[in-house]
């Protein structure tokens, strides 16, 4: 590292997580060590001789006059084998290592590398001496968990012809490959978190991320490489929905950022993930997961950084050619961290005290999602699902509004639904997905040619029900015409059987596309039978009281449901037939 | 220790001191008035030129002739086993005429965050004896569950009943209560103290009292003293500690007062932008640590200004705490005690502590069914107001009656009525039995056959 002018200065002022230093040569976003305890901080403003620094740890007891040292580097993460199954704080310090070093509580002034520098990994080269490599080229593999960790030429290295490439057991710091120009490559490289990693090309998102959640896959799908927001007032099941997504989505790698959330909730994730099985591989889910836990009482500046740390790790796995899904819970806490630091900087506030650059930061972040052709010409994706916690459930507040301007999918959680124990409490009338058109062909080819039609039909019935409910509220359901009473009944079935899903039931927690289609189809079958019977003069009360359909909800909780479903369909037919003939 | 007489400005609870040696951020400060009385404060902002001190007591009597002593350390609190049974002021000084606390340890009151990796998952059911909590919003050890109330509602009675009746069925481990009052009235204090004395709860309690006429700024430290004590009792001495904080609204008002005095840019409704982080530093101090015997469970009470759940105080609290128990003015007016409205109430950790081997296998499903049926019945009340009862279908009438029954029998209970979880669940079944069996869609048929009163009677 080149030392420029003076890389040492002194502290002048301390005000909570924001401190001012003088006599320091610094550039924006340089990482600095603050005070005698060498707390980690980052330069966020330069004002004449005053260098303003946000500190990632508690600053109690720090005095003016203590030293400040500039490392000259940006805040970066270590990328290499050892990331999977890790649990980090907002600045990639492994929480497990921190616990070994300082006990049950997080004290300050302890640094810990993001990856273990001692563990040896078996490196298997996929290139040989004489091969030409460029930035991002995969040169070898490490079997990290059940996931194959691909080692690449760092995107900021020019590349060239390989002079020597080794095979065998190495630590992440040992050289595994030497290029002809003398460049030495290790399994680990560092990347500054605030800089998006380069790709060859961004592609159109036209493959859905299958989540096993009926309301999501069925009605409001998200594409791989897409962006979604889950805004919800507290208590509306936002966290449960995000966790279900982290558990069941068919991404190969999951990065979960607990940003300013509850400690006990993170513990739940930490204890549950290692026990849960990946529905595809049968291995613990944890083996494909990286967790970042920065709870609400951990330092606010590290909370600001945690989102960048997470997305950089996600991009790294994408560059290996994996489909990655990233959950950020919650981006509102991230925005609040920005607000808190901005107000300490005495910046001119924008709307509701948030900094004027809030919208820009949010869009920069979501723009790092996408389905791409990597530098090595593989296909990979990062899907970003951000939770938003609007104060008082008011969607007009700045964080929700600025997020909605960017994201393509909106899953509107509704406290009213969760009060009725309708879970997932996603409101089917307010939610939307802008990927329906791009995903149309995929559903056509992979689920059924009927799928898009039947989906549209279900939405129509639900929409119709909402209108009818307004009338029912005024005059009662008996006053409705017969046909519409059937519609109400069909909509009820859609809500209670298709949309409601029990995340705590071992079978119902994940529902594959085939089963989703089967359930929807059966409800459609009932609807057709019902309208048909009505035309044949059967009384509405009898249609609504059809016995066979009462067994349908049980299908959700049955693993091998096909035989039962056939029986239900047969019974339904028989009953309708009997009614028509009676 | 050096004494400075360089006060340049005094504004509200803040004292600005110029020309000092380097002073640490967050340091404890003693302020000596000209008549010799001493007041305490804390450094809020420090630089070469000026140090801003927040005074925990009234600034009356402080002038430019007052002396400032910087103690060189952050605020520490003496803690010890003999704190149990003591009554202390909101600033931690004995208030019961007893001797000073014999310190076994001196702890920083700004507790460090528990490493999420060191936390153990809370999953031990606490039985409060109140059906609307036990059956439908279950509390577990290590949880933080606030009561969202309004002025004039019986939240204190509910808190006392919880403190009185809480137990882990089938366990006789050591437990303690830490009670911190912020800005409550003398009358309320009397109510709490009388109950603690009558039930003998005081013996295993530590009480911190900051009353309505005590300095508002002292309220900033009161909950932190209480939680430092609680953590000491729990994680060093192995007690299961129930912390009751009342009233968090007064705490937030004090926070706003200081923010305004510092001329900070205000956030929503004038509360400081960092209120979320600040509240988190209180609420998050609950939980269980792997390998440690004790636990800290938090019950905080806050009164929603204007009964508005979207007000910043309940709103930010709700985002940090693991659920909320909402006290309803409407139920209170109907004369129902405890007037807990289960619909907006929630316990996020409930599913960890219930079910087979913990409470009962049917617990979750019964709770879901009660919620769904009550929500439906409650909605129908609006309809009845327009079209009258006669226009309802038979099914709707049954749900309407269920809602009334639920409030009258399940929600309502006596101040000293301590229902076991089995009793609460059976009561739930009794009410559900008034509905047609095919309407119980949330419950598996096996469970219906096992627990539905109709089948149970046949079996008996």
Tens-place pLDDT, residues A336-373: 889 888 887 888 888 888 899 999 999 999 999 999 99
Nearest 10 degrees: Cα torsion A358, A361, A364, A367 = -60
Q: How far is B57 from chain A (nearest CA, A)?
A: 21
Picking from A412, A416, A444, A452, the residue whose alpha carbon sits closest to that of residue A428 is A412
Please give the C-alpha separations between residue A369 and each of A81, A250, B144, in angstroms, as whole numbers: 23, 16, 35
Joined tokens for residue A84: 């999977």
Burial class (CB in 10 A: 0-12, 13-18, 19+), A449: exposed
pLDDT attached to residue B199: 86
Give B 194-213 residues with CB within 8 A of chain A: none
Instruction: Give mean pLDDT in consecutive 10-residue pieces for chain B, a chain of 460 residues.
Output: 89 88 90 90 90 88 91 89 92 89 90 89 92 95 95 92 87 86 91 88 90 88 95 94 93 90 80 88 94 93 92 90 94 95 91 90 93 92 84 88 96 95 96 92 89 78
Contact B319 A63 (CB under 8 A): no
What single DSSP character describes residue B33?
-
B156: left (phi over 0), alpha (psi -120 to 50) or beta: alpha
Q: What is the interface pTM, i.e. ipTM, of the complex?
A: 0.82
Would you say residue A3 has pLDDT above 50?
A: no
Contact B273 A346 (CB under 8 A): no
Pick from A20, A235, A264: CB nearest B349: A264
Asked whether the beta carbons of B229 and B79 are under 8 A apart, the reply is: yes
- SS3 per-residue string spanning A491-537: HHHHHHHHHCCCCCCCCCCCCCHHHHHHHHHHHHHHHHHHHHHHHCC
Using an 8 Å CB-CB cutoff, list chain B residues near A352: 267-268
Joined tokens for residue B411: 């929600």
Tens-place pLDDT, residues B142-181: 999 999 999 999 999 998 899 888 888 887 788 899 999 9
Task: For residues A232 and A426, give the distance between their C-alpha atoms in angstroms, rounded to a whole number.
Answer: 9
Tens-place pLDDT, residues A420-441: 788 899 999 999 999 999 999 9
Please indicate whether residue B273 or residue A525 has the higher confidence score (pLDDT).
A525
Tens-place pLDDT, residues A117-149: 999 999 999 999 999 999 999 999 999 988 999
Tens-place pLDDT, residues A88-106: 999 999 999 999 998 899 8
pLDDT attached to residue A2: 40
Give B 210-239 residues with CB within 8 A of chain A: 235
pLDDT attached to residue B13: 86
Dmax of chain A from CA atoms?
97
Contact B113 A297 (CB under 8 A): yes
Picking from A268, A229, A224, A215, the residue whose alpha carbon sits closest to that of residue A250 is A224
pLDDT attached to residue B239: 94
Pick from B22, B266, B310: CB nearest A63: B22
- State the residue for tokens 């350390």: B73
Q: Give the burial string for A129-146 (b: 16+ CB within 10 Å, else e).
A: eeeebeebbbbbbbebbe
H/E stretch holding B120 reads strand B119-120
B68: left (phi over 0), alpha (psi -120 to 50) or beta: beta
**Beta-bridge mates of residue B105:** B79
**Which pLDDT band, with edges at 50, 70 and 90, does A1 fall under?**
very low
Q: CB B436: neighbour CB atoms within 10 A?
A: 10
Average pLDDT, chain A: 90
If you measure CA to CA, which chain A residue comes closest to B282? A297
Would you say residue A5 has pLDDT above 70?
A: no
Contact B114 A105 (CB under 8 A): yes
Tens-place pLDDT, residues A265-309: 888 878 877 787 776 777 888 889 999 999 888 888 889 999 999
DSSP string, B183-245: EE-HHHHHHHHHHHHHHTGGGGEEEEEEETTS-GGGGGTHHHHHHHHHHIIIIIT--EEEEEE
Angle at the Cα of A256 (from B365 to B290), degrees rounded to 5? 70
Tens-place pLDDT, residues A455-500: 999 999 999 999 998 888 777 777 788 889 999 999 999 999 999 9
Would you say residue A16 has pLDDT above 90?
A: no
Describe chain B by its helix, strand, coil percentages, rounded to 5. Answer: 40, 25, 35
Tens-place pLDDT, residues B86-119: 999 998 889 888 899 889 999 988 888 899 999 9
């Amino acid at each position: 590292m080149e030392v420029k002018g003076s890389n040492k200065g002194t502290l002048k002022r301390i005000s909570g997580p924001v401190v001012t230093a003088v006599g320091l040569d610094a550039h924006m976003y340089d990482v600095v060590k603050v005070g005698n305890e060498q707390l980690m901080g980052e330069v966020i403003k330069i004002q004449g001789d005053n260098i303003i620094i946000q500190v990632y740890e508690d600053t109690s007891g720090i005095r003016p006059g203590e030293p400040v040292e500039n490392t000259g580097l940006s805040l970066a993460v270590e990328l290499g084998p050892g990331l999977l199954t890790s649990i980090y704080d907002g600045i990639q310090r492994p929480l497990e290592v921190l616990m070994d070093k300082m006990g049950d509580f997080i004290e300050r002034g302890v640094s810990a590398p993001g990856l273990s520098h001692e563990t040896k990994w078996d490196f298997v080269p996929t290139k040989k001496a004489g091969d030409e490599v460029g930035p991002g080229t995969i040169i070898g593999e490490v079997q990290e968990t059940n996931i194959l960790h691909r080692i690449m030429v760092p995107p900021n290295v020019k590349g060239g012809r390989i002079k020597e490439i080794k095979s065998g057991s190495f630590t992440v710091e040992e050289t595994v490959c030497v290029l002809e120009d003398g460049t030495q490559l290790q399994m680990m490289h560092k990347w500054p978190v605030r800089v998006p990693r380069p790709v060859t090309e961004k592609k159109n998102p036209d493959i859905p991320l299958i989540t096993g959640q009926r309301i999501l896959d069925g009605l409001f799908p998200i594409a791989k490489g897409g962006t979604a927001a889950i805004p919800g007032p507290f208590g509306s099941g936002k966290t449960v929905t995000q966790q279900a997504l982290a558990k069941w989505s068919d991404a190969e790698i999951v990065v979960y950022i607990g940003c300013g959330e509850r400690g006990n909730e993170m513990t739940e994730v930490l204890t549950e993930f290692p026990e849960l099985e990946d529905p595809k591989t049968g291995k613990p889910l944890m083996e494909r997961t990286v967790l970042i836990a920065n709870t609400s009482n951990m330092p606010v500046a590290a909370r600001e950084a945690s989102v960048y740390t997470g997305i950089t790790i996600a991009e790294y796995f994408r560059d290996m050619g994996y489909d990655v899904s990233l959950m950020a819970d919650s981006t509102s806490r991230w925005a609040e961290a920005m607000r808190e630091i901005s107000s300490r900087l005495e910046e001119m506030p924008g709307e509701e005290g948030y900094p004027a650059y809030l919208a820009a930061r949010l869009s920069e972040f979501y723009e790092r999602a996408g389905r791409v052709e990597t530098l090595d010409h593989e296909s990979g994706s990062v899907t970003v699902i951000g939770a938003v916690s609007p104060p008082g459930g008011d969607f007009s507040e700045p964080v929700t509004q600025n997020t909605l301007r960017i994201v393509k999918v909106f899953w509107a959680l509704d406290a009213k639904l969760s009060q009725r124990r309708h879970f997932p409490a996603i409101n089917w009338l307010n939610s939307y997905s802008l990927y329906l058109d791009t995903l149309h062909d995929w559903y056509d080819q992979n689920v059924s040619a009927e799928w898009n039609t039947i989906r549209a039909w279900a939405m129509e019935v639900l929409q119709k029900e909402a209108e009818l409910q307004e009338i029912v509220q005024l005059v009662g359901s008996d006053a409705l015409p017969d046909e519409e009473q059937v519609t109400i009944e069909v909509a009820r079935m859609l809500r209670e059987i298709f949309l409601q899903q029990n995340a705590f039931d071992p079978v119902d927690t994940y529902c594959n596309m085939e089963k989703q289609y089967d359930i929807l189809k059966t409800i459609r079958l009932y609807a057709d039978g019902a309208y048909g019977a009505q035309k044949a003069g059967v009384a509405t009360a009898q249609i609504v009281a059809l016995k066979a359909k009462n067994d349908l909800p049980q299908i959700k909780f049955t693993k091998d449901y096909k035989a039962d479903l056939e029986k239900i369909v047969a019974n339904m037919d028989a009953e309708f037939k009997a009614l028509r003939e009676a | 220790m050096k004494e400075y007489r360089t006060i340049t400005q005094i504004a509200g609870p803040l004292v600005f001191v110029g020309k000092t040696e380097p002073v640490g951020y967050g340091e404890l400060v003693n302020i000596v008035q000209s008549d010799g009385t001493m007041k305490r404060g804390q450094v809020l902002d420090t630089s070469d030129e000026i140090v801003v001190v927040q005074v925990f007591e009234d600034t009356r009597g402080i002038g430019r002739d007052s002396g400032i002593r910087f103690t060189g350390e952050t605020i520490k609190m003496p803690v010890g086993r003999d704190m149990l049974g003591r009554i202390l002021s909101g600033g931690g000084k004995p208030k019961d005429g007893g001797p000073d606390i014999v310190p076994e340890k001196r702890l920083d009151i700004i507790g460090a965050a528990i490493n999420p990796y060191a936390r153990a998952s809370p999953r031990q059911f606490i039985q409060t004896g109140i059906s609307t909590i036990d059956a439908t919003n279950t509390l577990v050890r290590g949880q933080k569950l606030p009561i969202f109330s309004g002025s004039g509602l019986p939240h204190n009675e509910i808190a006392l009943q919880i403190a009185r009746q809480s137990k882990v069925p089938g366990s006789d481990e050591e437990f303690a209560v830490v009670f911190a009052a912020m800005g409550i009235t003398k009358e309320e204090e009397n109510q709490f103290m009388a109950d603690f004395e009558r039930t003998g709860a005081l013996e295993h309690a530590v009480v911190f009292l900051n009353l309505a006429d005590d300095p508002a700024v002292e309220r900033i430290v009161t909950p932190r003293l209480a939680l430092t004590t609680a953590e000491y009792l729990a994680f060093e001495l192995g007690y299961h500690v129930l912390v009751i904080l009342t009233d968090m609204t007064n705490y937030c008002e004090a926070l706003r007062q200081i923010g305004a005095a510092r001329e900070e840019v205000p956030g929503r409704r004038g509360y400081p932008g960092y209120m979320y982080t600040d509240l988190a530093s209180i609420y998050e101090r609950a939980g269980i640590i792997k390998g440690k015997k004790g636990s800290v469970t938090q019950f905080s009470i806050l009164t929603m200004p204007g009964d508005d759940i979207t007000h910043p105080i309940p709103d930010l609290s709700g985002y940090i705490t693991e659920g909320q128990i909402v006290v309803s003015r409407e139920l209170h007016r109907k004369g129902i005690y405890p007037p807990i409205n289960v619909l907006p109430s929630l316990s996020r950790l409930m599913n960890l502590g219930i079910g087979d081997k913990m409470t009962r296998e049917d617990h979750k499903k019964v709770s879901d069914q009660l919620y769904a049926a009550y929500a439906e019945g409650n909605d129908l009340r609006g309809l009845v107001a327009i079209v009258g009862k006669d226009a309802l279908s038979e099914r709707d009438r049954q749900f309407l009656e269920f809602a009334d029954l639920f409030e009258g029998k399940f929600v309502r209970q006596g101040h000293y009525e301590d229902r076991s979880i089995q009793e609460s669940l059976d009561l739930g079944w009794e009410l559900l039995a008034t509905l047609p069996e095919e309407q119980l869609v949330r419950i598996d048929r096996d469970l219906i056959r096992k627990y539905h009163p109709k089948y149970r009677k046949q079996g008996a």
